[in-house]
Structure 1
Amino acid sequence: MGEASATEPERRDREATGDGAIATRALTKRYRGGQLAVDGLHLTVPEGSVFGFLGPNGSGKTTTIRMLMGLIEPTSGTAHVLGRPMPRSARAVLPHVGALIEGPALYGFLSGRDNLLRHDAADPTADPRTRRARVAAALGRVGLTAAAGKKAKAYSLGMKQRLGLASALLQPRRLLVLDEPTNGLDPQGMREIRTLVRELASEGTTVFLSSHLLDEIEQVCTHAAVMARGRLIAQGPVADLAAGARGRLAVTTPDPADAARVLKEQGAADVVVDGERVTGEVPGRDLAEVNAALVIAGVRVRGFGVERASLEDAFVALTGEGFDVAG
């Protein structure tokens, strides 16, 4: 909808939420019985970004995605997708959005190809004359051409994930929303999906990627947000989030016990010994002095330096808890 045809409330909404591909303000979902699944979420997903949505099980990620896609109503607050309010503008917005949420819904008795043909036929904007070409291209993009004739009930979990992603790619999309897209994939399949996500982003598609795999987010995403217990803890460029966590001082030495003692004396906390490698929080003093103290104590230092903080370090620093990687 252009600015000239927008109603005054919609213009105010767009001014409040900015120009992000996704923008929420005080978005809240409370279920019957008082369970607060999402609590006052203020989220901004920049256009053209690959945005990682992080959080352990029960943090509110999938509930948020379901509200963004108009599948459930928020209790309060607002959600805008591609500049339009949801769920009110779902009919106008969703043709420009590809989504894979909580695993694909497939007809097991149909082949992978026939599932996509049926899915495409349900799209009123799809040209039936080019349907088979679109389906073939989508199958090729996710590596399922050879298995296109096999019935979906015989697909592995990873193949079903690929087929669900192919259905989201039948048409050019401005926004792609993926909920745990690499679930069930082997390492090679995960690499292929990451490459595909990068390609889509390079073509101008904004990708919103929910995952519990921190290394996946760090490898492929430009921006990220961290959820915990229904609340947004932090958001921003991935590099900035990781930089917000302090790195760890690492010493490699054949004298790990002595090195650990010296690091503690120099003010390093959480000192961990792993073979000949000793790590600890960076002490609040000149690291040259720490290194000198090790040498004076007779510690044979083979390696000394500060390791860059990872996204996992940032998550633990922000939430004070480990990350549930069980999915």
Structure 2
Amino acid sequence: MTDAAAVIETRGLTKRYRGGHTAVDRLDLRVPAGSVFGFLGPNGSGKTTTIRLLLGLLAPTSGTATVLGAPMPRASRAVLPRVGALIEGPALYGYLSGRDNLVRYDSADPSADPRTRRARVAGALDRVGLGAAAARKAKTYSLGMKQRLGLAAALLQPRSLLVLDEPTNGLDPQGMREIRTLIRELAADGTTVFLSSHLLDEIEQVCTHAAVMNRGALIAQGSVAELAARTRGRLSVTGPDPADAARVLKEHGITDLAVTEDRVTGEVPADAELADINAALVRAGVRVRAFGQERASLEDAFVALTGEGFDVAG
């Protein structure tokens, strides 16, 4: 990950709380400029604490964090106006309309130009699909609409970096697609997007790079394609004899077998040779129409790296 300037970079970043609990442990993270960067990990892995450290909301125990080329939290006043953030859901005034919530947010920003406030608020609402609901009180919004409004607040001004924590929480499938499209558009315009999510398929669809945290430590980072390529995909055998194929595959060490009407898939041991397995099927007289290894997914890589399952359905 040295082919682009870093928008976020940490060196030995550590956060240790009283009592000895280490939430983030010697983190060396690098987020390339212009990337859509997925930040992954099980609950309690240190993702939210890391985000708080990056935004200057927490002070590190040791190590350093640089955001947009400046040290955090020391340079917070200079950096944060260039950063849009939606962390752990938006804080809204329920008695105010969606539009007036954004006006209130913008008024609190000393770098915001009051002469363009109304136009920018209207543009941010339209961009997240809330233009028609702008006059409604926020307390009447659904969870998904509140998420959209929080995202609109992050987009009130042009941002060099957008930090999003579970941005599609509460959205229906159509809303999730719209937010993914918006993230791609922002990246195409030059905004670096740092995205924490529990939806691995979402990360795989929209992100160019990713990092995996586990128990406070960074265990892998790189392009999404590189992370997936580290893991062997499942073996897939298609043909009219799936039961016979499953028997032969099991005899040759293939595990986690899944059998359908005409297809068998399974996990291949690291020392197995696919050519030998194919030859064994032929010797056993198993009829095979297709044989090969599927491309590993980001979910496969995550499970291989952490040894834990992950909620991919939301």
Normalized against structure 1, the TM-score is what? 0.91
Q: Which residue in the other structure is 1:14 paired with?
A: none
Residues 282-297 of structure 1 mapped to structure 2, 5 A cutoff: 282=268, 284=271, 286-297=273-284
Residue 288 (structure 2) aligns with: 301
Cα deviation per residue 1:225-275 (whole Å; 9 max; x = unaligned)?
001111101000000000000111111233222111211334434433344
Structure 1: distance between partners of 2:262 and 2:313: 30
Q: How many residue pairs were aligned?
A: 310
**Which residue number in structure 2 is paired with residue 311 of structure 1?**
298
- In structure 1, C-alpha distance between the alignment counterparts of 2:256 and 2:146, rounded to whole Å: 43
Q: Is the 8 A contact 1:56 1:325 kept in 2?
A: no
Q: How much does 1:289 deviate?
A: 4.2
Matches within 5 A, 1:162-311: 162-282=148-268, 284=271, 286-311=273-298
The aligned counterpart of 2:74 is 88
Match of 1:104 among 90, 98, 101: 90
The one-letter amino acid paired with 1:297 is: A
Match of 2:21 among 13, 30, 35: 35
Which amino acid in the other structure matches residue 308 of structure 2? E
Using the alignment, how far apart are the partners of 2:260 and 2:63 within structure 1?
Answer: 48
**Partner residue, 1:12:** none
User: Which stretch shifts more, 165-174 or 260-269?
Assistant: 260-269
SS at match of 2:235: strand
Q: Please list every run of 5 or more consecutive structure 2 residues that lacks an aligned counterpart in the other structure.
A: none
Residues 44-123 of structure 1 mapped to structure 2, 5 A cutoff: 44-123=30-109
Displacement after TM superposition at 1:32 (Å): 2.0
Name the CA distance, whole Å, in 2 between partners of 1:136 and 1:324. 35
What is the percent sequence identity of the aligned residues? 80
State the alpha-carbon separation in 2 of the partners of residues 78 and 274 from structure 1.
52
- State the shift of 1:179 in Å: 0.4
* Greater alpha carbon shift after TM alignment, 182-191 vs 250-259: 250-259
Shift of 1:59: 0.7
Deviation digits for residues 113-163 of structure 1 (CA, Å, limit 9, x no counterpart): 000011111111111111110001000100000000000000000000000
Q: 2:140 aligns with which of 142, 150, 154?
A: 154
Letter of the 1:294 counterpart: L
In the TM superposition, what is the alpha-carbon distance from 1:280 to its structure 2 partner? Answer: 1.9
* Mapped pair 1:322 → 2:293: no
Cα shift readout 1:80-118 (whole Å, capped 9, x = no counterpart): 100111110000000000000010010000000000011
Q: Considering only aligned residues, what root-mean-square deviation do their CA atoms show, in Å?
A: 1.7
Please give the alpha-carbon distance, in whole angstroms, between the structure 1 residues aligned to 2:114 and 2:74: 28
Partner of 2:12 in structure 1?
26
CA–CA distance in structure 1, aligned partners of residues 219 and 78 of structure 2: 31
Q: CA deviation at 1:300?
A: 2.5
1:277 deviation in Å? 2.3
In the alignment, structure 1 segments of 5+ residues that lack a partner are 1-17
In structure 2, C-alpha distance between the alignment counterparts of 1:39 and 1:275, rounded to whole Å: 48
Contact persistence 1:19–1:83 (CA under 8 A): no
8 A contact 2:199–2:313 mirrored in 1: no
Question: Aligned-pair distance for 1:19?
Answer: 4.0
Q: Aligned equivalents of 1:286 and 1:24: distance in 2?
A: 40
